Structure 1
Amino acid sequence: MAVEEGGRGMGKVSISRSCRAYRMAAGLPAALLVSSLLITPMGLAADQPTHHGDMGEASAEKVIYREGGAMLHDRMMEEIKRQQEAIGMKGGYNTSANSHMLQQGVLLVAEDPTKVSVSSGQRCPANAPLKDYHISAINVEITLSRFLDYFPGYMYVLKENVEKVRGEEAANREAREKENDPGAVSNGLQGDAIQPLVIRANQGDCLKLTLHNEITEEPTSLVINGSSMVVAATGKPATPSNPEGTVAAGGQQSFEWYIKPDTQEGARFFRSHASREQFNQGLIGMLVVEPRGSRYLSPFDGKPMASGWEAMIEDPKGADFREFAIFYHEAGDEAFRLLNKKGEMLPQRDPHTDSDRPGARLL
C-alpha cells in the first residue's frame, strides 16, 4: 500500500513534470518566433538601401524611439510659437487669444488649413436698393431702470439721434437728484433713445454703414456676425483681424454688405471687437434681414422708421407682421459694479434675495 501510494505520488509528480516539460516545449517555438521578430528587422534594415540609394548597414544611432505624446507636444509648442509671432495681426482680442492657447492648450486655428475655405465679400451691384446708415459710437451713462441705477458705458446710435440720447442722459442725471422721478426711462424702453441699436435691411439690398467714432480716446469697430461686410474703400473683409475695420478716436470708416436675395431672414448681432469693455458695457446692436422690398413702420404712429427694437414690417409679397428684437445682456464682468442713483456701488449679492450682481442682467 505504501509503495502504491508512493507510486501514485511519484506518478503525480511525473505527470506534473511532463506537463511542465510539454509547456516548455510548446513555448519554445513561440519564444524563438518572438526572438526572430526582434532580430529580423535589424537584419532587414541592413539590407535596405539608404536615402541616397547606397547599400549599407543601418546604424542603431539612426533609429529613434519616442513616445507619441512627446512628439505631439513638440508639434503643439511649435504651432503656439508660430501663433505668438503672428498674434499682433489678430485684432483687438490678441491678448485673450494668446492666453487661451497657453492656458487651455487648444489652438485657435483649423486642424487642417487646407480644408478651410474663406471667400471675400462681394461689392454691391449698381442696381441694388440702398440702405445707408450713419452710426456713431459714443460714451454714455446708461440708466437701467426707473429706480435710476446706471453705469458709464457705450452705445451705438444713429448719428441723427445723438442729440436725443444726450437729452435723455441729462434728464436722467437730473432725476437722480429728485425723489420718485423716473427720468426719461419708460416701461420697457418703448421709444427711448438710450437702448441697443436695431437697424434693418432687406434681402437683395446694398447695406452701407459709416461708423463715426465719438468715443473719448479709444478706437472702436462694428462687426456684424454672419455677414460678408467689406471695407468700402478697399473691398477687404471688415473683420477684427483687418486693421482697416478698426476706427481711431475721432475718425470714421465706411463699410458695405451686399445682402444677396437668398440670404436667410432674421437677426444678425453686431458688436465692437476693439475691446472687451466696450462690448460688455453696451456697444452692441442688431441688424435684422427682412423680406425683399419690406418697409419698416413705427408701432406708435405708423410712419416709416429708421431704427428701434419693435416695428411693424410691411411685406409686399407676404403677410405683414410685428417684430420685436430682444437682447439679453450682462453689464460688465464679474468685477464690474453698477451704481445706484446716489452714485454708490450696488452690492455684489442682493441682501434680500441673495441673487448675484443685482441689476446687472439686462433685457
Structure 2
Amino acid sequence: MDILYGAGSRNRVIGDVIFHCHLYPHFHEGMWTLWRIHDRLEDGCGKLPDGTPVPPLLPLKDREEPPKKDDLHPGYPNFICGEAGEPPRQPPCGVLDAEGNVVVSPTPLEEANFVENAAPGALYTDTCPCHTTEECENVKVFEIALVQAKITYNQYGWHDPEGRFFVLKEELEHYGGLESYIRMVEEQKIRVEPLVIRANAGDCIELRTTNLLPEFLEANAFQLKTRTDIVGHHVHLVKFDTITSDGAANGWNNIAGARKYETLVERFFADEELRTVFFHDHLFANAHQLHGMFVALVIEEAGATFHNIRNGEPLRFGTQAVIQRRDGTSFREFALFVHDFAFLFDKDGKPLNPPAVPGSHDDPGDELMIRLIDGAHEEQHVFNVTGMSWQKEVVDEKSPLAASQTLGVSEAFNLNVKEPYQAGDYLYYFGGTDDVWLGLWGIIRAYDRYQECLKPLCKGKEMILPLPPCPGKDDVVRRYEVAAVQTELIYNRYGDHDPNGLIFVPLEDVDLVFAGKYTPKPLILRANVGEWLEVTLYNVLNPNHPVPYFDYPRVPLDLKHKPSSRVSLNPQFLQYDPICDSGINVGYNNKEQTVGIGESKRYLWKADREYGACILQSFGDMRNHRYHGLFGAVIVEPAGAEWYENFTKRKNPFAEQAVITAPGVESFREYVLFIQNGIRLLDAKGNLIETAAAGSEEPVDAEDTGEKGYNYRSERFVNRLERDKRVWKVFSSRVHGDPATPVWKAYTGDRVIFRAMMPADKPRNVSLTIHGHLWREQPNDPLSREIPLQGGISVGNRFDMELKDGAGAPGDYLYRSGSFGWDVESGMWGIFRVMKHTVRCRCKEMCGRLLKCLK
C-alpha cells in the first residue's frame, strides 16, 4: 500500500495511528498494531514514558530533517500528560461536562506543543485550513446524542431491548426531550434509522457528541454484562488530529471519549468529495455496533445542497435526500446500512438474530445514488439490485458495469444508477441465502406519475430515459424456449450427487433429460449487443415428486416449510419492463411473474449493451431451488458475433466452451464458469457430505455449510486421497485422471475470456485464480491494475476476465479458489489446458483464412 500524501496524510498528523482488521472478532483476538508518526528527530537517545528506549529513525535522504528535541518539545509522546500504566487522560479542552465546563485543561508542556491555531479537537495538528475557520459560521457543527431505547425492527415484534444509536439533539428537543423521545421510539411512534449527516468537500466539521447512555449493557442470551462507561465517534477518511479526535485510545494518545453526560468535541476536515464516510464508537466497538451504533457522514461535492425528498426544503439529516449539484442537476440519494449479528428477540422475548429493511422511492429517469454502508459486525454480504446497474467505480467511466457489490464491516460504496429503468417495483436484496432469509431485502419504487410525497428532481439535458417497451420493426429478436426440470446431478465419477437437482435446459433437450441421456450443465443463452431476447419458460417439474425441504445447507432461524414448485427467470443488466418481464413477484407489480407446473410464460429483454456475463436467477423459491442448481446465464456478445463450440465448427448458443467471432473483433475462446457455494451433496453411499464440519467439535456457521464446485461438478480431495494417499499428487491427472470440473482448452497465444460468475448460494466470499496468468481487473481500462486473483466473489458477482497475452505456454494450469481450506479441498478447482499448435492445425487454420478471404 502506497499511502496517499505519505506518513501523517495531507494534514501532517502526528501520534499513534491504529492499523487493524475491521472484522471485530479478528480485531478482538489481536489482529492490530500501531503506526507511530513522530514530530521530532529520533536519534536513539530518547525514551518512551514507560522507559522503553526509542530506536533511532533516520530521515529519508530526499526529505527535510525533522527538528531536534528541546525541553519544551520533547517529541511525541513525551509531551502528553499521563502516567505509564494508568488510564490515559481525555483530550485537553475537548470534553465538556453537563454544565459546559472543560473537563481536562492542558498542561504547560502540552500547550507548548499545540499548533498555532489550536481548537478543541485539533490541538497538535492544524486540521482545517485557515479559510474554513476564520469565522465560526464556516465550521459545520453537529450536536449529537448517544441514546439507548428498545428498537423494534419489524411488524412481527423482533426487537433489541438495548438498541443504541446516534441522534441529533435537535430531534430530542423536537419530541419533547430525552425521556419523551425514548418513550415514542419504544411505542413505535418514531421509526429509528441510522443517522446520516451531510457536508461538502472543503468543509470544516465539528462533532459534539453527548453520552446519554447507561454505563452498562446488561447480560442476556447474547452477551455478558459489559461496562461501556465511555464512548466516542471514530470517523473514517476525513482528516483530523489523531491524538485528540480519533474517537479511540491508541498507544500514547488521549482517550477521545465522553463519560456519562459529558460531551466530546472533535474536529475534522473534508479535504475532497469523499462520498460515503462511515463512523462509529471505537472504544467499545465490539459491543456497541451490534446494537446499532454506527453513522454515515456523506461528503458531497463542493457547492451541492441537500433537500427533503417530499417538499424540497433544506435537509439536516436523513437516509433519503435529493442532492442538487452546482450545475443545477440533481439525483436521489439513499443511504442503506446492512447490519448482521443484531441481538434481537421476538415479541415473546425469545432470543433471535436478524433485521428488516426500508424502501425507497423515485420516478423513472431519476438518477439514483445508493450510499451503501456495512455498519456491523462480522459477516460478508453482497448487495444486488434487479433491473438496475451502475459503474463499479463512481468516477471512472471505463470501470465495468455492476449489478452487485460485495462488502464487509465498515466498508462503504457509492452506487450511482444512471442506466435506464422503467416504472415499477424493483427488488434489492443481499444475495446470500442466509441474508435474504433473515430479511435483508427491500423495494425501490419508481412511480409512473406525480406523487405528492415525492418532489420531482431538477433534471439536466442528459436525463435518463426508459427504453421502449417492445422491439421496433427492424430490431432483431432472438427467441429461446427453456424448461425447468428435475434431474439427478452427478458431480463426479466417485458418486457425489444431488438426487434432487433442479436445472434449466433448452426445451428441445427435455426428452433427453427424462431418458437419462443428457449431460447436465448450467443453462447458457447468448445474444449480440442490440438484440432483444424473447425467452419462453416452461415448468415441467413432476407434480408427483414435489421439491423436498431440507434443513441442510442450514440457514439461521430456519423454519420447516413447503417448498414452492413455481419457477421464473430474471436476468442481470438486461433492460425489461419490471411489471411484465422481471420474473419477480415484488411489491405492487400486479402481473404474475412465476410459472407453475404445466404452465409457460414469455419474457422479453433487451441486450442494449455488450454486458458480457449476466446471471439468470429463478425467484420462484430462492431458499429451496438455487442450491439444487436452478440458475443460468445470458452472455451478451459483440455486434454481429457468431458462436461455435470450442474446437468445432458447430454453432451452439448453449456452449460452455465457445469460440466467438465478430466483424472487426479478434476472435476469442470463451469459457463460462459458474461458481457454486453451498451445494447439498450426498456421497455414493447416500451419506450427507459436510466438508466444513469434518474433524470439528464446534457447530459450523450456517454460511459455511454445503459443498463447493463449478458448473454442476466438483472434485473433492477426499475422493482422490482415498485412492492414492500422496497429497502432493492430488491434482495430478497422471495419477487420478482429469477432474470432473471443466477442463478448459486453448492453444498457446489464443485470446481467452473467462466469463466467471457466482449465482448460488452462500454469502461467504470466495476467490478465483488462474495459475500462470494475469488479467486486467477492469477489462476496458488500460490503466487498470493486472491481477492474478479475483477476490471478494459472492452471490450475484460476475467478472469478464481476459487473459493478458492470451493462453500461456503449453501445459496444464490450475484454476481454483484462493482458499484451500474448505474451498479447494471441497472441490472448487479445475484445469486450464494449453496445447501446442501442431503443423496440421496451423495448415488447417491458414486454409480456413484463405477460404474466408476468397468468399
Instruction: Give yes or no for TM over 0.5.
Output: yes
Deviation at 1:265, TM superposition (A): 2.7
Aligned equivalent of 2:507, options 159, 162, 176 = 159
Q: Distance in 2 between matches of 1:108 and 1:64?
A: 22
CA distance in 1 between counterparts of 2:689 and 2:625 reads: 21
- TM-score, normalised to structure 1, is 0.60
The Cα of 1:310 is off from its aligned counterpart by 1.3
Partner of 2:568: 221
2:689 aligned partner: 346
Determine if the alignment matches structure 1 residue 132 to structure 2 residue 482: no
Q: Residue in 1 aligned with 2:665?
A: 318
Q: Which of 67, 71, 74 is the equivalent residue of 2:189?
A: 74
Residues 220, 281 of structure 1: alpha-carbon distance in 2 compared, 3 angstrom cutoff: same
In structure 1, the residue corresponding to 2:190 is in which secondary structure?
A: helix
How far apart are 1:316 and its partner, in Å? Answer: 1.4
Say which of 65, 74, 93 aligns to 2:176: 65
After superposition, residues 179-328 of structure 1 pair within 5 angstroms as 193-217=519-543, 218-230=565-577, 235=580, 237-241=582-586, 242=589, 243-260=591-608, 263-275=609-621, 276-328=623-675
Question: 2:357 corresponds to which letter in structure 1?
Answer: L
SS at match of 2:487: strand
Q: Distance in 2 between matches of 1:303 and 1:271?
A: 28
CA distance in 2, matches of 1:288, 1:163: 25
Letter in 1 for 2:530: G
Give the secondary structure class of the aligned counterpart of 1:326: strand
* Unmatched runs of 5 consecutive residues or more in structure 2: 1-173, 194-343, 347-352, 369-420, 424-466, 544-564, 711-855
What is the match of residue 84 of structure 1?
none
Whether contact under 8 Å (2:611, 2:636) holds in the other structure is yes
Give the distance between the partners of 1:113 and 1:291, measured in 2 at CA.
33
User: 1:239: how far off?
Assistant: 3.4
Structure in which a larger fraction of residues adopt strand: 2
- Asked whether the 8 Å contact 1:310–1:324 carries over to 2, the reply is yes
> Pairwise mapping of residues 10-25 of structure 1 onto structure 2 (< 5 A)?
none
Q: Distance in 1 between matches of 2:603 and 2:672?
A: 23
Q: What is the CA-CA distance between 1:224 and the residue it aligns to?
A: 0.7
The residue matched to 1:75 in structure 2 has which SS? coil
Check the 8 A contact 2:477/2:532 in 1, yes or no: yes
In structure 2, C-alpha distance between the alignment counterparts of 1:141 and 1:345, rounded to whole Å: 15
Shift in Å, 1:76: 2.6
Query: How far is 1:227 from its partner?
Result: 2.2
1:123 maps onto 2:470 in alignment: yes
Residues 566, 620 of structure 2: 8 Å contact kept: yes
Deviation at 1:331, TM superposition (A): 4.0
More helix by share: 1
Q: Give the letter for the 1:326 counterpart.
A: L
1:319 aligned counterpart, secondary structure? strand
CA distance in 1, matches of 2:668, 2:638: 11
Distance 2:599 2:530 in 1: 30
8 Å CA contact retained: 2:690, 2:707: no
Q: 2:493 is matched with which residue?
A: 146
Shift of 1:143: 0.7
Distance, in Å, in 2 between the alignment partners of 1:237 and 1:195 is: 24
**2:484, 2:539 within 8 Å by CA — same for their partners in 1?**
yes
1:205 partner letter = E
Structure 1 distance, partners of 2:706, 2:583, is 34
Change (3 A) 1:352 1:66: closer
Identity of aligned residues (%): 22
Counterpart CA distance in 2 for 1:214 and 1:341 is: 27
Larger radius of gyration: 1
CA shift for structure 1 position 216: 2.8
Q: Which amino acid letter does the alignment assign opposite residue 229 of structure 1? A: Y
Query: By how many angstroms is 1:327 displaced?
Result: 0.9
Measured after TM superposition, the shift of residue 342 of structure 1 is 2.8
Partner of 1:51: none
Q: Distance in 2 between matches of 1:166 and 1:238?
A: 26
Instruction: Give the secondary-structure state (helix, strand or coil) at the position aligned to 1:165.
Output: helix
8 Å contact kept, 2:595–2:601: yes
User: Which amino acid letter does the alignment assign opposite residue 196 of structure 1?
Assistant: P
Distance 2:634 2:581 in 1: 21
Correspondence for 1:28? none
CA-based RMSD: 3.4
- Aligned-partner Cα distance in 2 for 1:198–1:141: 19
Cα distance, 1:269–1:240 mapped onto 2, change above 3 Å: farther
Distance 1:141 1:326 in 2: 21
Distance 1:331 1:230 in 2: 32
More moved, 341-350 vs 287-296:
341-350
In structure 2, the CA distance between the partners of 1:235 and 1:344, relative to structure 1 (3 Å rule), is: closer
Change (3 A) 1:197 1:265: same
For residues 59-98 of structure 1, the C-alpha deviation after alignment (integer angstroms, 9 at most, x for no partner) is: xxxx9614355556533389xxxxxxxxxxxxxxxxxxxx
Q: 2 CA distance for matches of 1:64 and 1:109?
A: 24
Given residue 265 of structure 1, which amino acid in structure 2 is its aligned partner? Y
Q: What's the offset of the Cα at 1:116?
A: 7.2
Distance 1:298 1:207 in 2: 21
Distance 1:323 1:316 in 2: 17
Q: What is the rounded CA distance, in whole Å, between the counterparts of 1:116 and 1:340 in structure 2?
A: 51
Question: Which amino acid letter does the alignment assign opposite residue 611 of structure 2?
Answer: E
CA offset digits 1:328-347 (Å, max 9, x no partner): 11244xxx5x2122323334
Contact 1:309 1:324 (C-alpha < 8 Å) held by counterparts = yes
Cα 1:300–1:125, aligned 2, differ >3 Å: closer, same or farther? same
Structure 1 residue runs without a partner (length 5+): 1-62, 79-99, 171-191
Q: Distance in 1 between matches of 2:651 and 2:175?
A: 75
Q: Partner of 2:626: helix, strand, or coil? A: helix
Alpha-carbon distance between aligned partners in 2 of 1:314 and 1:224, rounded to the nearest angstrom: 24
CA drift at 1:199: 1.2
Which of 241-250 and 281-290 deviates more? 241-250
Deviation at residue 353 of structure 1 after TM alignment: 11
CA change 1:105–1:322 in 2 (3 A) is same
Task: Indicate how the Cα distance of structure 1 residues 280 and 358 shifts in structure 2: closer, same or farther if over 3 A, else same.
Answer: closer
1:194-225, Cα deviation, whole Å (9 max, x unpaired): 01111110111111100001123411111112
Q: 2:458 matched to which residue of 1? A: none
- Displacement over 4 Å in runs of 4+: 68-73, 102-106, 112-118, 234-238, 347-354, 356-359
Query: What TM-score do you get using the length of structure 2 for normalisation?
Result: 0.27
Structure 2 SS opposite 1:279: helix
Q: CA deviation at 1:127?
A: 1.3
Shift of 1:108: 3.7
3-state SS in 1 of match to 2:503: strand
